[in-house]
Structure 1
């Protein structure tokens, strides 16, 4: 990261502080899109702050720096949904990354600054922290803690501490979410909330020391990932295991979408999540059938039939799906790992911890530093990744609280236009994938987007009017928009009709899996309903 503290003269403005943000990476596949946005909004990665500026003027410059940092951190989805005049915030994650970048930049600048400049930088840092504290405060993440016996979890922490784990977190239980971790003290920006020795990380390097690996390394091309899964299935019952304390604190059932029963699947029928879960289940059943009873026959002492059951295999699969992390080990290898203790951290769309994927070469430990402050008693959240609700239900068994910007509905539109009929579809068509999400996430509810994504509307407008040009009248534009909105309604009204609201009594008496399935359908209904409402409202004003 380039961060320099240059002081000099800028015209008649007196002494100035030059703040250099990292430039856009040429290797970023979104480089050109981000560059275009920065240019359109007259932003750059270099800012000059007059030292004599008032606090108000300095904070206005901070606003511009934040806007530039937001663009630097935009992902493909955020670029798609950002309107032409949308300056953000684009998502809680993007905001946290952007403010965190600025905080680190100011910290580096202070190392080479004089006392006067340090005062300016400190004011900027303080404001950045205030803004970071506001991220996630309104998204419903404040869960209610419950009083429960967690002796087993406390034993896990003691076991971890005995093996070198350092933690500023403690275990708590939360309504509707189960276990989680809260700060045992105020944890500031960039402070390490949790530190796990590499020796406790369950990875392929540990696998190579086991009899499972020695037996299977040359057997039927079984991958190391599958070996780790099989090792976990056995190690759960190994009374002399180094990781005995860890396995004893794992739940008997993970309750992910992979464990959905018939009633829950029936509730999901007609949704994409139904297809996703069924495909995943079929894959796992096929994998199990390929392994057993073959392994029990060839290695009866290692793979006992009473342990190698479908239920135990599914449990191990769910363990790795819901608890594994991608970690760069000290060897430099990127590996899928289980990280004891860290697996207790819950996911949030407004996480405190974003960057945690590399073992520190000096300390040989995996550190979890905060990207935004976490006060004592506050639940500390991790990011599991940029996942939609369907993925989180299938492989983790929950829907996140708050608005998840990655909950989108993809549309495959076959919309090339015949030259003789602007409203007809050509025989030689090109298929383009577009998407929608809840229109409540949009900051533009009126013309020209009506809360809908600009790329989708541009695509449909072009498809429905090949001769659209500068001579197109306002009346023609309104007619085109009317056709676009009616086209969208023709797509989404049938989708909404396929998602009737369940009887409240059905939800109250349902099992956990049916309730989760109904919650997912509620989310889909809410998204689709918002599209229908926006289109209907827009038609009334076209």
Structure 2
């Protein structure tokens, strides 16, 4: 079978040689996995991998290169670099202002526990320019206490207070757990957490005291909320995730509690406690590269209050600075005093965020995609269209609604066209191409009309008196409905475009016949 490849075009700056770079990415390439959605939807109008997040990352990469270049430049070049630096910083400010979100702080919320945690953290070397507050619609978050600029460090956490697997290795349970086949470091951390939260002498007692009794993620959805998700893929995702966790729990309990009751007391190792620990680590953990070069899954006191945003202030934060042995959260976008300072949890879809974090982000999430199941022909010779998976998202995110594009992803349309016609197709206004496009659009419209119908009617639910999980389930379902509706609308509009061009082609053919 031919290896699937995808080409990334990276245009370099104007250096006088007019060079550019072509990088071939395979499906198992880590970079491809991170950028898959951007690559898939980025083949329209030569826009490449443009997205607000990619734009911000590109500007910050340029800024970083300029900063490292200052020391090696002569006086005249330094002036040019300074001008370029100022221009990029100005662009970042404009970009940040465009996506700035106004938040309202609930001053009635008692933040005493959070204040004690910050005091404990500062006594242990933490430096922060953020204040913990309760934000309406978002829960606890971090607010800037002063105006912060691009490159400023909003928070610095010493590695000594980061919770990682090293703590498990020092505990009395490690000698037992390391002998169990298939026991991962992540599972060890879960079991350590379940006991440590009850330890009155724990180094992290103040941290555990600030944690909620319930995390309210999709893993805690009740029956009514699960049923409200009927007709969505999230229904299956949550059911499968909960089943996986239950199997994982049953593999070690109650056996561990029976064999080692002093180390794993039953009262601390119930299914409910296990699920709580899972939600804690899913919703609050970060992957951190330590100074020894090892990547560890960690809990980071105080930093866990930073909320996710589609337009975050902090993007790169996953590596401990070897010089200071601390984790620094530097800003990629400015944050004004009183503004909530956010970071990025990753390029996650709404379904992932609901399942493991318990929220949907504000704004249009470009990673809210609907995967489509097709039997892809692996013998296709077109490298740019040879995808093993296909997907759609809200067509309002596309800048190209014209003929042959319709706001839909090119890889999907090309695949469906090839399935309809074995002959090579070009984007030219001839009858054969238009007939194929009409069939493709009508099939897609029919498919997504059925999916819309399967979502059912959510207006019958009493939202005002609904529980938190039902409200979140309905919010997700409405987001799915909006995506499905945009696709059916784009298909309908596309069919009209095609029929108009078909009528022109047929009229021209008729004129040619009459001219003979």
Correspondence 1:133 to 2:93:
yes
2:38/2:49 contact within 8 Å kept? no
User: Which residue of structure 2 aligns with residue 301 of structure 1?
Assistant: 262
User: Which residue of structure 1 aligns with residue 394 of structure 2?
Assistant: 438
- Give the superposition deviation at 1:432: 4.5
- Give the superposition deviation at 1:501: 3.9
CA displacement, residues 455-494 of structure 1 (integer Å, 9 cap, x when unaligned): 1111112221222457976222221211111111121110
2:231/2:451 contact within 8 Å kept? no
Q: Distance in 2 between matches of 1:483 and 1:216?
A: 59
User: Which residue of structure 2 aligns with residue 87 of structure 1?
Assistant: 47
Correspondence 1:464 to 2:420:
yes
1:139/1:402 contact within 8 Å kept? no
Q: Distance in 2 between matches of 1:140 and 1:380?
A: 11
User: Which residue of structure 2 aligns with residue 152 of structure 1?
Assistant: 113
Correspondence 1:33 to 2:7:
yes
User: Which residue of structure 2 aligns with residue 244 of structure 1?
Assistant: 205
- Give the superposition deviation at 1:402: 1.3
Q: Distance in 2 between matches of 1:169 and 1:248?
A: 20
Q: Distance in 1 between matches of 2:233 and 2:98?
A: 29
Correspondence 1:372 to 2:333:
yes
Correspondence 1:396 to 2:364:
no
Residue 410 of structure 1: SS of its match in structure 2?
A: strand
Q: Distance in 2 between matches of 1:132 and 1:490?
A: 43
- Give the superposition deviation at 1:330: 2.1
Equivalent residue for 2:249, pick from 257, 282, 288:
288
Residue 368 of structure 1: SS of its match in structure 2?
A: strand
Residue 212 of structure 2: SS of its match in structure 1?
A: coil
Correspondence 1:322 to 2:290:
no
Residue 462 of structure 2: SS of its match in structure 1?
A: helix
- Give the superposition deviation at 1:377: 1.5
Q: For 1:417-436, list aligned pairs within 5 A.
A: 432-436=388-392
1:129/1:373 contact within 8 Å kept? no
Residue 508 of structure 1: SS of its match in structure 2?
A: coil
CA displacement, residues 396-434 of structure 1 (integer Å, 9 cap, x when unaligned): 1111111111110111224769xxxxxxxxxxxx99421
- Give the superposition deviation at 1:522: 0.7
User: Which residue of structure 2 aligns with residue 474 of structure 1?
Assistant: 430
User: Which residue of structure 2 aligns with residue 506 of structure 1?
Assistant: 462
- Give the superposition deviation at 1:249: 0.4
Q: Distance in 1 between matches of 2:426 and 2:481?
A: 39
User: Which residue of structure 1 aligns with residue 443 of structure 2?
Assistant: 487
CA displacement, residues 34-93 of structure 1 (integer Å, 9 cap, x when unaligned): 23xx5xxxx4344359xxxxxxxxxxx9xx99x99xx99992221211234243672222
1:198/1:359 contact within 8 Å kept? yes
CA displacement, residues 323-380 of structure 1 (integer Å, 9 cap, x when unaligned): 1111112222111111111111001111111111111111111111111222221111
TM-score scaled by length of structure 1: 0.83
Q: 1:166 to 1:407 in 2, by over 3 A?
A: same
Q: Distance in 1 between matches of 2:225 and 2:76?
A: 63
Equivalent residue for 1:109, pick from 64, 69, 77:
69
Q: 1:334 to 1:415 in 2, by over 3 A?
A: closer
Q: 1:257 to 1:163 in 2, by over 3 A?
A: same
Q: 1:431 to 1:356 in 2, by over 3 A?
A: closer
Correspondence 1:518 to 2:474:
yes
Q: Distance in 1 between matches of 2:489 and 2:93?
A: 34
Further displaced range: 316-325 or 370-379: 370-379
Q: Which runs of 5+ in 1 are unaligned?
A: 1-28, 50-60, 418-429
CA displacement, residues 480-513 of structure 1 (integer Å, 9 cap, x when unaligned): 2111111111211100111234127522211000
User: Which residue of structure 2 aligns with residue 47 of structure 1?
Assistant: 15
CA displacement, residues 157-191 of structure 1 (integer Å, 9 cap, x when unaligned): 10100111111111121111101111112222222
User: Which residue of structure 2 aligns with residue 216 of structure 1?
Assistant: 177
CA displacement, residues 268-319 of structure 1 (integer Å, 9 cap, x when unaligned): 1221111111111111112222222211111111222222222111111111
User: Which residue of structure 2 aligns with residue 346 of structure 1?
Assistant: 307
User: Which residue of structure 2 aligns with residue 194 of structure 1?
Assistant: 155
Q: Distance in 1 between matches of 2:334 and 2:49?
A: 19
Residue 179 of structure 2: SS of its match in structure 1?
A: coil
2:103/2:339 contact within 8 Å kept? no
CA displacement, residues 225-271 of structure 1 (integer Å, 9 cap, x when unaligned): 21210110111111110000000001111000000000000001221
User: Which residue of structure 1 aligns with residue 345 of structure 2?
Assistant: 384
Correspondence 1:411 to 2:367:
no
Q: Distance in 1 between matches of 2:429 and 2:347?
A: 42
Residue 72 of structure 2: SS of its match in structure 1?
A: coil
Q: 1:301 to 1:229 in 2, by over 3 A?
A: same
Equivalent residue for 2:187, pick from 220, 226, 231:
226
Q: Which runs of 5+ in 2 are unaligned?
A: 26-30, 379-385, 499-516
Q: 1:491 to 1:432 in 2, by over 3 A?
A: farther
1:229/1:317 contact within 8 Å kept? yes
TM-score scaled by length of structure 2: 0.87
User: Which residue of structure 2 aligns with residue 78 of structure 1?
Assistant: 38
1:256/1:398 contact within 8 Å kept? yes
Q: Distance in 2 between matches of 1:448 and 1:300?
A: 67
Residue 402 of structure 1: SS of its match in structure 2?
A: coil
Residue 33 of structure 1: SS of its match in structure 2?
A: strand
User: Which residue of structure 1 aligns with residue 514 of structure 2?
Assistant: none
Q: Distance in 1 between matches of 2:392 and 2:258?
A: 51
